[in-house]
A = this chain, B = another copy of it.
């Protein structure tokens, strides 16, 4: 088959790769219904995260099970499934406590921008949908496999609750779906930091009550103004830079909660500053697997439509254009159809 491989900065190729096959009895191979480009793929695409050798790309997927290994019990060929970017056994101590993305046997696998995918630990990783989904719901199921689950974790980790004032830093797909998640958790006020018209509109549609266009210390001052000098209860940092993290911390009231869900790049936190900020801090790679059954159910019953973050659709062989469009912020998120 052909699949997506990153050879270096700005060098994405759709080229011949070996067909995925069952390698261990716990594997499954699935036929990808839809895949997409992730904001986190851009770190290596832009050369900020160095790669030593060509890397197969893609970690968001849903599709139909083609084949399973002999030990797989919970999914079978023909089922439509959604999984997360970390394979997890869902039985170890960390998984049982809801941190499947820190599973003691976790495997990261990134080769989903392709027509077929090998999924390790299939029993723990994959969640079947109630049936074969309609064509129009597949993008929303795909969103559940990463960006929605990550936005949902951002909201939970920042203790979003009814009546609270929430700030979302970052207007990428994760930030936008963090807005949707905060709305589902019945936040009273949801302030999105965004300067981009299309993203502002989608944020409003997902439930944002206020938009702040200022950044850095000016953004912080604006949040203080909007909260009568107190600061926000919950701030969801969905970018991963030093600036966005400091903006998040400074926007939060003492005793409030900051979550962070994008891999931090060149970020250091000063202990004393953090101490006197008096905030709660929680984040890390989102344990999407914990939320998948619930998120699939919400998509299935049309309670939410997270698939709206896809504003560009391309045939898989044009994947390089997907990267370019997201890099240039022409697209929020690019859908890839095999």
Contact = CB atoms under 8 A, between A and B. Distances in A.
Interface of A: 93-94, 97-99, 101-102, 104, 228-230, 240, 242, 245, 253-255, 260, 263-272, 274-285
Given A97-B253, A278-B284, 6 more contacts: A98-B255, A254-B284, A260-B271, A267-B271, A269-B269, A281-B282
- Judged by DSSP, the binding face of A is mixed
B277 A93 contact: no
B272 A271 contact: no
A272 B263 contact: yes
B283 A282 contact: no
Which of A97, A260, A271 has the most chain B CB atoms closer than 10 A to its own CB? A271
Contacts of A276: 102, 284-285
CB-CB nearest 7 A-B residue pairs: A267-B271, A264-B271, A102-B254, A278-B284, A99-B255, A99-B254, A280-B282
Number of copies: 2
A253 B284 contact: no
Nearest to A258: B281
B280 A263 contact: no
Contacts of A260: 271, 275
Which of A98, A269, A275 has the most chain B CB atoms closer than 10 A to its own CB? A275
A245 B271 contact: yes
Contacts of A281: 274, 280-282
Contacts of A267: 270-272
A94 B268 contact: no
17 contacts: A93-B253, A94-B230, A94-B254, A242-B271, A254-B284, A263-B272, A264-B272, A264-B274, A265-B271, A267-B271, A267-B272, A268-B271, A275-B284, A278-B284, A279-B284, A280-B281, A281-B282
A94 B255 contact: yes
Contacts of A283: 275
A104 B229 CA distance: 10
A284 B5 CA distance: 46
Given A94-B254, A254-B284, A255-B97, A269 B274 contact: yes
Contacts of A279: 282, 284
Which of A229, A260, A276 has the most chain B CB atoms closer than 10 A to its own CB? A276
Contacts of A97: 253-255
Nearest to A269: B269
